[in-house]
Amino acid sequence: MLGFEGIGVVLAYVLTIAAALLCVIYGVINWNKSDEEEKL
């Protein structure tokens, strides 16, 4: 049985993998996207 504290760690696992996937997907989708800037 997972207690409240155990769920905290499982959530950290899931969110960590999700954040890494978000970075990968964002990078792939926007690979060629830009807003693109000109011989002290």
Partner 1 sequence: MDTLYIGIVVAVYLAITAYLGWLGFKQTTNAADFLVAGRKQHPIIMALSYGATFISTSAIVGFGGAAAVFGMGLLWLTFLNIFVGIFIAFVFFGKRTRKMGHNLDAHTFPELLGKRFDSRFIQGATGLLIFLFMPIYAGSVLIGGAIFIAQTFSISYDAAVLGFTIITAVYVVFGGLKGVMYTDAFQGVLMFIGMALLLIYAYTSVGGVMAGHTALSKLAPEAKILFGKGGHMGWTSMPAFGSAMWMQLVTTIVMGVGIGVLAQPQLIVRFMTVKSNKEINRAVLVGGVFILFMTGVAFTVGALSNVYFWNNPKYQTVAIEAVKMAQAEKEGKVYKPVVSVELTKKREADAAAALLNPALAVKEPAKPAAAVQSAAIAPKTGAAAPAAPAPAKPKASGALTDAIIPLFINEAMPKWFIPIFLITLLAAAMSTLSSQFHTMGTALARDVYEKGLQIKSKNTVLVNRMGTLFTIILSLGVAIYLPRFFETGSAIIAKGTAIFFGLCACAVIPMYVGALYSKRFTKAAAKSGFLAGVAVSLLWMAFIHSAEAAPLGICMALTGKASLLDPRSWISNLDPLIAALPVSIIVSLLVSALTSPMDKEHLKKCFNGIEKV
* Cα 33-26-23 angle, rounded to 5 deg: 135
In whole angstroms, give the CA distance from residue 9 to residue 39. 56
Q: Should residue 13 be labelled a site residue for partner 1 when binding is judged by CB under 8 A?
A: yes
Q: Should residue 39 be labelled a site residue for partner 1 when binding is judged by CB under 8 A?
A: no
Q: For the segment 19-38, give every residue that binds partner 1 (CB under 8 A).
A: 19-20, 22-24, 26-28, 30-37
**Dihedral sign, CA of 29, 31, 37, 40?**
positive
Binding site for partner 1 (CB under 8 A): 3-6, 8-9, 12-13, 15-16, 19-20, 22-24, 26-28, 30-37, 40
